[in-house]
Amino acid sequence: MSRLLAILGLLLLPWALAQRLVVAQGTDPTTLDAPLATDSPSATVVTHISETLFELTPEGKIVPHLAEGHSFADGGRTLTIRLRRGISFHDGTPFNAEAVKFNLERLVSRELASPFAFLLSELERVEVVDSHTVRLRLKNPFAPLLAHLTHSSTAMQSPTAIGRLGAQYRDNPVGTGPYRFQAWQKGQFVDLVRNENYWGPKPPTPQVRFIPVPEGTTRVALVETGQAHVAVRIPPQDIARLQANRAVQVVRTPSLRTIYIYFNTQRPPFNDVRVRQALNHALNREEILQFVLGGIGRVSDAPIAPGIFGYTPVGRYEYNPQRAQELLRQAGVSTPLRVTLHCPTGRYFQDIQVCEAIQGQLRRIGVEASIQTMEWGAYLQETQRPLKENRIQMAMLGWGTVTGDADYGLYPLFHSSQWAPGFNRAFYKNPEVDKLLAQARISTLPQGRQALYKEAMARIWQDAPWIFLHSEAQVTAIRQEVQGFLVHPTERYLAYRASFR
Amino acid sequence: MTAYLLRRILIALPTLLGVVVLVFLMVRLAPGDPAVLLAGEFATPETLEAIRARYGLDRGLPEQFLIYLEALLRGDLGESARSRRPVLEELKTYFPNTLELASAAILVAVLTGIPLGVLAALRPGSGLDLSVMVLALLGVSMPVFWFGLLAILIFSVGLGWFPVAGKGTLAHLVLPAITLGINATALLARMTRGTLLEVLSQDYIRTARAKGLAERVVIFKHALRNALIPVVTVVGLEFGTLLSGAVITETIFAWPGLGQLLVGSILARDYPVVQGAVLLVAISFVLINLLVDLLYAAIDPRVRYD
C-alpha cells in the first residue's frame, strides 16, 4: 500500500512543484480573439494578453491605459486620442495609430459580426493623425464612448498576427499586455507567461494557468487542496465551510449586474405611480438579501450598481407595509389585488427563490402575486413583445452594465425611444428623464455627466417603473498565500498584480 | 458473414438518418429565438441580423435541413457558433478524452465486477455473497453525482491520494474512472453471479465433476466460459452507455471530454456542436452494437449468421 502511495506521489509531483498561479474558472474560454469573447472566462484570459485604450478601475473611474490622453471637439462629434509611445505587441509589431484604426474598424466590420459591435455604433470613421494620434469621427455626439473603449472587446491586438493567422488568431492571441500567450489545451488549461518586455509594472508572478472546472464544489475542493490558488463563483452552500478554512480567504466583489422586477407602466394597475411605490415599500430587501441570497449581493440604492461610471446612491425604499397599504388605498386599489409575476428559473442567482420571498412579502399588503416561470428563451421573447401584444404585468430581469458606463445602464432601459422590442420593457416614459439621458450622451465633461445621471436616476427612483431589488456579487476563494489578486466588477479575474507570500 | 455485415450496416443507415432528423428538429423547436441566445441579451437588431445570416437562421426549416444534410455528406459538420471553430475540430479535441475515460471505466468494471460476481456465485447464500450483492445494489442505485463529489471529498481533500480534477497524469484518471464505472461494475457483478449460478446447475457441469475434473477446471474452463457469453454483450452495451453517460462524471471532475463540450454547447444553444456531438455518440453506439453482435459469433460457436 505504501509503495502504491509513493508511486502515486511521484505521479502527482509535477503539478505540486510548479510555482505558477492556477485559477479555476467555470468554463474554458471559447475564443481568445477579443471582439468575439462574450463570456467572462474568455474575457478574463484576453484581458491578460491584450489591453484597451482606457481602463475602468474597480471603483468605476475611467483612466487612460494604452492611451495617454484624449480630447473631445466639434461638440462631442470628434474624439482625439494620443497614444503611449514605445509600446510593441508581443510579436514585435509596433503599437501605433495604424494599429488602433485597424482594431476599431475590425470590431465594427460586418464580416466579423462581433456581438459587441454596438459599442462603437456611433463611430463613423477612424483617422490616423500622426504615428501616435488617432481621431474618431462620430455620427452623433456620444460621450459614453470613452467608457466603451475600456471594454475588453475593444482591446488592441497585433494587426500583423491577425493578418497572418486569420481565423486561427483565436488560438494564438498577440497583444501588448503583461502576459503573453503560451499554450491552450482545449478543455484543460490556458497557460500564460510573463511579458518580460512589458511597458508597465511587471507582474510578480511569472506564470498563470487558467483551468475550466464546471462544478462549483469541485472548484472549492481544488482550492482547499491547494491544487488551484483561485476559484471563481463559489456556490453558496460551500461558503461557510471555506470561511472556516484558514488557508483560504473568501472574497466578495459587487458585480455590475442589477436585479429588478419591472412593471408594465402603461396598463392598470401599474400605470399608477402610487401602486408601484406601494410595492416598493412592501419589500424587506435586507431580509431577502440575508436569508434568500445568503448575504451575497447588495441592496440597490440606484437603478445601476456601484462601480459603473455615473453611479450615485439616490435613495432607498424603506420597508413600510403601512405606508404601502396607505398608497394602495390612495390609488383606489381594492385588496386583494391579484397580479401575475413572471420569473426566470436558474438564470440569476436564486432568482425563483427571491420571487417566492417577494410573493410572501407582498401578501402582507394584500397583493396576491401568482408566479409564472418559463424557459429562458421563451421568457426573453415574451418580455420583449411590443406593447400591444405584451401580456406581462411584472417580471424579474437582470441587467449587466457591461460597458461600465451609466448610459448603457439607463438609456436602453428608461429612454422612451427604447420601448420593447427594445430593452425598455416597462414601457416607461418620462420626458424629463428622456431629456437628461440624451444630454448626458452629449455632455463631454465627466462631472457634468455625473450630475445629469444623478438627476435622471432620482426621477426614475421616484417614478418606480421597477421594484428595485439588489445587485449581484461574486464570491471568489483565494488561497491565503496569494496576495494582490483582483476580482473586477466586470466579472474579470486579474492576476497581474498577484504574488505569492 | 459478409452478407450479414452488409445487412447490418444497411440497417444502421436509416437509424442514423433518423438521428440526424431528430437532433436537427429538437434543437430548433426548443422555445426562444436562437439568434437572440447566440448574440446575447444585449445585441442590437443589426447584430441579430448579422448572426442570423451567418448561421442561415433566416431561412426556412426545410431549407436549413437540406443545407445541413448536404454539408454533412461532404463531411462538413459546420462551425461552432461560440468558438467559430469547425465542429469536427471540436469533436476531435474532446472525443478521444471521453473514449479514454469510458475505456478506463469499463476496465474497472470488468476487472472488479466479474471477479466479485464469480466469488459470490461460488458461495451462494454465504456472508460474502450477501455483502457482494448489497454492494452491487448500492453501486447500481447510487447517483453518480453524489458518489463523485463524495469521492473527491474523501480521497482528494481528506486523504490527499488523488488530484481533485482535470486530466494529466494517470492519477487524474482513477477517481473519474471509478465513478463512471461504478454502475457498470455493480451490474456486471450481479449478472456474472446470476449466469454462473445458472450454468453451474447444468448437466454438463455435473458430468465434468463426475468425471473427476479439478474444481478449478470445472469452474474456469467449463462453467465460466459459458457464463460469460451474455456478460460480454452487456459489457459492450455498457460501453456505449458510458460514452454517452460520461456527461455528469466529466462535469464533476472537469474532464475535458465530449460531455463538457456538449453541456456548454446546449446552454449556449450552439446548434452545430450539439448536432455534431449527438451524431457522433449515436454513430459510436451503432458501431458498438455491431461489434458486439460480431463478437458474439466469435465466442459462441453455436451462433451463426447466415
Q: Residue type for B123, please? A: R
* Residues whose CB is less than 8 angstroms from the CB of residue A151 and which lie 6 or more positions away in sequence, other chains included: A52, A116, A119, A402, A403, A404
Which DSSP category does A405 fall into? B
Q: Do B50 and A14 touch (CB under 8 A)?
A: no
How does pLDDT run across A260-288, given as a tens digit for each residue? 999 999 999 999 999 999 999 999 999 99
Nearest to B164 by CA among B149, B178, B179, B177: B149
What 3-state DSSP class applies to A88? strand
Cis peptide before A421 (omega within 30 of 0): yes
Cα of A318 to nearest chain B Cα, Å: 31
**Residue B264: what pLDDT?**
80
Give the C-alpha separation, A437 to A457, whole Å.
10
Nearest to A137 by CA among A62, A197, A200, A77: A77
* H/E element, B283: helix B271-299
3-state helix, strand, coil in chain B (%, to 5): 80, 0, 20
What residue spans of B201-223 are helical by DSSP H?
Answer: 203-210, 215-217
Q: Which residue shows C-alpha cell 401568482?
A: A370
Of A12, A30, A402, the CB nearest to B169: A12
* Residues whose CB is less than 8 angstroms from the CB of residue A434 and which lie 6 or more positions away in sequence, other chains included: A415, A416, A417
Give the C-alpha separation, A141 to B35, whole Å.
30
What residue spans of A18-91 are helical by DSSP H?
Answer: 40-49
All cell numbers assigned to A70: 484624449
A167 interaction partners in chain B (CB closer than 8 Å): 84
Q: Residue type for A54, please? A: F
Count of other CB atoms within 10 angstroms of residue B232: 16
**Residue B1: what pLDDT?**
65
Cα of B16 to nearest chain A Cα, Å: 28
Nearest to B55 by CA among B260, B248, B207, B269: B269
DSSP notation for A384-447: TS-GGG---SEEEEEEE-TTSBHHHHHHHHH-GGGBTTSSBTT----HHHHHHHHHHHH---HH
Tell me what the pLDDT averaged over chain B comes to: 83
* Residues whose CB is less than 8 angstroms from the CB of residue B259 and which lie 6 or more positions away in sequence, other chains included: B98, B246, B247, B248, B249, B250, B251
B89 interaction partners in chain A (CB closer than 8 Å): none
Nearest to A322 by CA among A290, A364, A363, A350: A364
Give the C-alpha separation, A66 to A88, whole Å.
11
How does pLDDT run across B111-138, given as a tens digit for each residue? 999 889 888 888 888 888 888 889 888 8
A38 interaction partners in chain B (CB closer than 8 Å): 40
Give the C-alpha separation, B134 to A99, whole Å.
68
> What is the count of residue pairs from A and B with beta carbons less than 8 Å apart?
139
Q: Do B37 and A115 touch (CB under 8 A)?
A: no
Q: Which residue of A has its CA nearest to B158?
A: A225
Top-confidence residue, A142 or B203: A142
How does pLDDT run across A285-319, given as a tens digit for each residue? 999 999 898 888 999 999 999 888 999 999 899 99
Q: Do A215 and B42 touch (CB under 8 A)?
A: no
Of A8, A113, A218, the CB nearest to B171: A8
Q: Do B269 and A377 touch (CB under 8 A)?
A: yes
Give the C-alpha separation, B104 to B255, whole Å.
13
Q: A499 forms bridges with which residues in the sheet?
A: A483
- Identify the segments of chain A with pLDDT beneath 50: 1, 9-18
How does pLDDT run across B19-68, given as a tens digit for each residue? 888 888 877 777 666 677 666 656 667 777 777 777 777 788 888 888 88
**Residue A18: what pLDDT?**
47
Chain B interface, best mutation among A116, A218, A376, by max B CB count within 10 A: A218
Give the C-alpha separation, B135 to B148, whole Å.
16
Q: Which residue of B has its CA nearest to A25?
A: B254
Q: Do B32 and A215 touch (CB under 8 A)?
A: no
Q: Do B160 and A225 touch (CB under 8 A)?
A: yes
All cell numbers assigned to B154: 474523501
What 3-state DSSP class applies to A100? helix
Give the C-alpha separation, A152 to A310, whole Å.
20
The torsion angles phi and psi of B124, rounded to 5 degrees, stand at -60, 135
**Residue A482: what pLDDT?**
95
Nearest to A349 by CA among A274, A250, A255: A255
